Structure 1
Amino acid sequence: MRLPNLPVPGVGGLRRAAGLGAEAVRRARNVADAGRFAERAERNGLVPNAAVAVFFCTGPENLFQLEQWRRPLEHLAATRPVFVVVDQPDTGQAVLDAGTLPVAFAPGSGALERLVAERDVRVVLYVNQVERNFRMLRFAGPVHVQLGHGESDKAYSVSNQHKAYDLTFVGGPAGRDRLGAALRGFDADVRTVQVGRPQLDHAYPGAPDWSRASGLRVLYAPTWEGDRPSVAYGSLVSHGVAVVEALVAEPEVRVIYRPHPRTGLSSARHAEADRAVRAVLARDGDRHLVDTGPYGWQWAFADACVTDLSSVAYDWLATGKPLVVTEPVAAEAYRPASRLLDELPLLPAPAAGSALEVLRARGLGGAGVETDPLLADLSRHYFGETADGASTRRFEAAVEAAWTLASAG
């Protein structure tokens, strides 16, 4: 018997089908694990009364969003109790495994209503803009605060969803101005609070055991190639080998190369460039590092950074240390309105070999950020004052003010 001519799915279709199957399996496993996880969450510790809740009702693949804030939240918990709300066992398990914050399991509307009422939740923090946030936002009693998971000039940072929250904590004047200019009827002077970058005030694991006297440390952290031309910001093919060759040619420089985890997913040329950069570094034995581990330790450890149009650029800017941002070669790459990108000269591909010279001009090996007034001014614009724990003090004071507002009714 001749079979009918049926459409054959392409590679993308097969991947989507496989993804749907994996998601169905995950949902079924979460249903089966709900009772056991509820017991584990209770054994981990009582959810405190009149506390600050972090609403994180999403899948474990987004744990990086919470991880951005975990250490500042754990520090806050020493003076104002904090717990995390999850609605999926695998997410809750990941949160418990990653840190010390207690977890409340609220898998449905009824459980969430009981949690808010019985535990007298005063403040709710959100690290993303997922639709499930509105399950918690419907409660009028708590003060709802959008944190986000990183400073950026991208469209995500001016979502109309910001209007749903009582307050949005931003890094500095840039975040306030960005929201005020983009959102109709949004009083940014009232609805935003500038808290800097409290993540900088904490230690992170993963740094290599390099002697401080062994040389200057330069982080090269290119982003991936993107899955469409408008976000083709990755510099590996256009800049990568030339940047790294220039860095390793200087005997006093040690390179930390941190490729994006998705490098090569959409472009064989980027995968090839990644291998080429690794080969350049390998010529010096173990003097340099290919970094695929945790993120955060690089801020304090490295002396300077070369990166692309990505969140790493803003993270690094907050350190106040020398920074070079590459210029995308793709004509279609979208460039958002941004003081960082408009005022900081970008490194074009033909000049990639001058990366070290540019870093030196911006203060590498010198007295610090004040040798480059532009970087210092941009850092203040995006994050305000960040030295000596200033961000942590502002963040915790802002949370306390929100808690007081909720308590006052």
Structure 2
Amino acid sequence: MRDLPGARRAASARALAAEAVRRGRNAVAVRGFAGRAAANGPVPDGGVAVFFCTGPENLFQLEQWRLPLEHLARTRPTFVVVDRPDTGEAVLARSTLPVAFAPGSGALERLVVEHDVRVVLYVNQVERNFRMLRFAEPVHVQLGHGESDKAYSVSNQHKAYDLTFVGGRAGRDRLGAALRGFDAEQRTVGVGRPQLDHAYPGAPDWPRESGLRVWYAPTWEGDRPSVAYGSLVSHGVAVVEALVADPDVRVVYRPHPRTGFSSPAHAAADRAVRDVLARSDPRGTRHLVDTGPYGWQWAFADACVTDLSSVAYDWLATGKPLVVTEPTATAAYRPASRLLDELPLLPASAAGTVLDVLRARGLGGDAGADGLLADLAAYYFGDTADGASTRRFESAVEQAVSSVSALLRRS
């Protein structure tokens, strides 16, 4: 049997070596990137900054907000702040937003003062956010990178921001119940899920009549036991084997970008799931291992199997059949959640019955008739029809900008 502690030590050593290489390359690239940072246009004055000072491995966090932010930029100058050339290059390659390079505190201070930054948006909770949070003039807004009942969504760090934009009533209730001294009614704004208002590239060219499309999107293993929600090891192979056994089902398998980052067992389970798909589909034309853009799956798939992650909450708005797996890790924190309490979870022992569960929830039939999912969607996101989320999001940003402008006029 494999020595998992030894494998973890080896993986940790490889990660440290890779990080040393990345630091060296970034140090060399600093001067050149400072010139390339303006590739998408100059940094605007009086605008909205998206603070993204982390590594390119976390680009998925920004990517979830990219289209809403690019739409916002049509009416309100918006740009991204990075502190690493490798992250900056990745942002320039994916987004039309201008990129500001602020590799140190001095550069960040010049950026805030010289460009009169009015609002700062954050898509994660990394420690480096506090480098920007020290500036009192802008309005600091935590967006997060997805609606979720996980402990990440009720971090005490939320108190450091002036506002937190949440999906709907669920986010406000969650923060108000968990954080001492936090006035959720005053410091949260419900903006729905603006991501749902955009069309996303990446869908395969599958004829509609070629079968039912089931999206399996497990989350990663987490970086600590309390958030070990990933189902790959416990459910993955059994779920996919059950799906491919039905000739009317086509599978879209989307592993989390950080799968295997902390756990060799999850990396191995990912390979095993890919092997199942390859054996079922030797020519690679029936199923899909999806590592591309996120978002097209909402309209494309007929049903979703996922874990306790933001994918489950995004899927709610579709009204289509949903299965959420039950974590097997004994230390995994089970948060208070209407979704998890009211929608029966799929235990590992029943992973092979996943298709039966999906059919019972409407797969292949009238999925829109599920009143429970519709009610949960309204609680978590409010009105998401006909661009309502985008209007709420952009209005909330404008109100934040206006509050700074009014303060400056009074001073």
TM-score (norm 1): 0.89
Please state how far the C-alpha of 1:364 moved relative to its aligned partner. Answer: 2.6
1:247-258 to 2 correspondences below 5 Å = 247-258=243-254
1:47-58 to 2 correspondences below 5 Å = 47-58=43-54
Change (3 A) 1:18 1:66: same
Q: Give, in whole Å, the separation in 2 of the partners of 1:24 and 1:351.
A: 44
What SS is found at the alignment partner of 2:391?
Answer: helix
What SS is found at the alignment partner of 1:385?
Answer: coil
Aligned to 1:372: 370
Change (3 A) 1:24 1:195: same
Contact 2:40 2:96 in 1 (8 A): no
What SS is found at the alignment partner of 2:30?
Answer: helix
Please state how far the C-alpha of 1:277 moved relative to its aligned partner. Answer: 3.0
Aligned to 2:299: 300
Partner residue of 1:73 out of 69, 73, 79: 69
Change (3 A) 1:352 1:81: same
Q: Deviations over 1:219-255 (max 9, x none)?
A: 1223345576655544445444543444345444322
Please state how far the C-alpha of 1:269 moved relative to its aligned partner. Answer: 6.6
What SS is found at the alignment partner of 1:210?
Answer: coil
Q: Give, in whole Å, the separation in 2 of the partners of 1:74 and 1:183.
A: 32
Say if 2:313 is the partner of 1:310: no
Tell me the amino acid that sits aligned with residue 397 of structure 2. Answer: V
Tell me the amino acid that sits aligned with residue 149 of structure 1. Answer: H
Change (3 A) 1:111 1:225: closer
Change (3 A) 1:28 1:408: same
User: Based on CA coordinates, which of the two structures has the bigger radius of gyration?
Assistant: 1
Contact 2:123 2:144 in 1 (8 A): yes
1:6-405 to 2 correspondences below 5 Å = 11-224=7-220, 230-236=226-232, 238-261=234-257, 262=259, 265-266=264-265, 270-271=269-270, 273-275=272-274, 277-279=276-278, 281-282=280-281, 286-369=285-368, 371-405=369-403
Change (3 A) 1:36 1:234: closer
Q: Give, in whole Å, the separation in 2 of the partners of 1:285 and 1:352.
A: 24
Q: Give, in whole Å, the separation in 1 of the partners of 2:65 and 2:75.
A: 16
Aligned to 1:6: none
Q: Give, in whole Å, the separation in 1 of the partners of 2:244 and 2:10.
A: 43
Deviates most, 348-357 or 391-400: 348-357
Aligned to 1:4: none
What SS is found at the alignment partner of 2:49?
Answer: strand
Deviates most, 118-127 or 238-247: 238-247
Unaligned 5+ residue runs, structure 2?
none
Deviates most, 352-361 or 221-230: 221-230
Q: Deviations over 1:339-367 (max 9, x none)?
A: 11111011234433433333233233344
Change (3 A) 1:144 1:111: same
Please state how far the C-alpha of 1:43 moved relative to its aligned partner. Answer: 4.4
The number of residue pairs the alignment matches comes to 400
Change (3 A) 1:15 1:265: closer
Change (3 A) 1:217 1:267: closer
What SS is found at the alignment partner of 2:304?
Answer: strand
Percent sequence identity over aligned pairs: 79
Change (3 A) 1:104 1:385: same
What SS is found at the alignment partner of 1:387?
Answer: coil
TM-score (norm 2): 0.89
Change (3 A) 1:284 1:381: farther
Aligned to 1:406: 404
Contact 1:57 1:85 in 2 (8 A): yes
Change (3 A) 1:97 1:342: same
Tell me the amino acid that sits aligned with residue 26 of structure 2. Answer: N
Change (3 A) 1:225 1:162: closer
Please state how far the C-alpha of 1:281 moved relative to its aligned partner. Answer: 3.2
Contact 2:164 2:187 in 1 (8 A): yes
Q: Give, in whole Å, the separation in 2 of the partners of 1:307 and 1:205.
A: 21
What SS is found at the alignment partner of 1:388?
Answer: coil
Tell me the amino acid that sits aligned with residue 29 of structure 1. Answer: R
Q: Give, in whole Å, the separation in 1 of the partners of 2:102 and 2:274.
A: 45
Q: Give, in whole Å, the separation in 2 of the partners of 1:25 and 1:253.
A: 44
Change (3 A) 1:226 1:39: closer
Contact 1:220 1:257 in 2 (8 A): yes
Please state how far the C-alpha of 1:376 moved relative to its aligned partner. Answer: 0.9
Change (3 A) 1:82 1:273: same
Q: Give, in whole Å, the separation in 2 of the partners of 1:330 and 1:315.
A: 24
Deviates most, 24-33 or 102-111: 24-33
Q: Give, in whole Å, the separation in 2 of the partners of 1:112 and 1:237.
A: 43
Change (3 A) 1:365 1:38: same
Q: Give, in whole Å, the separation in 1 of the partners of 2:61 and 2:378.
A: 24
Q: Give, in whole Å, the separation in 1 of the partners of 2:320 and 2:33.
A: 44
Tell me the amino acid that sits aligned with residue 84 of structure 1. Answer: V
What SS is found at the alignment partner of 2:386?
Answer: helix
Q: Deviations over 1:51-108 (max 9, x none)?
A: 1111111122211111111111001111111001111111111111111000111122
Q: Give, in whole Å, the separation in 2 of the partners of 1:100 and 1:296.
A: 18
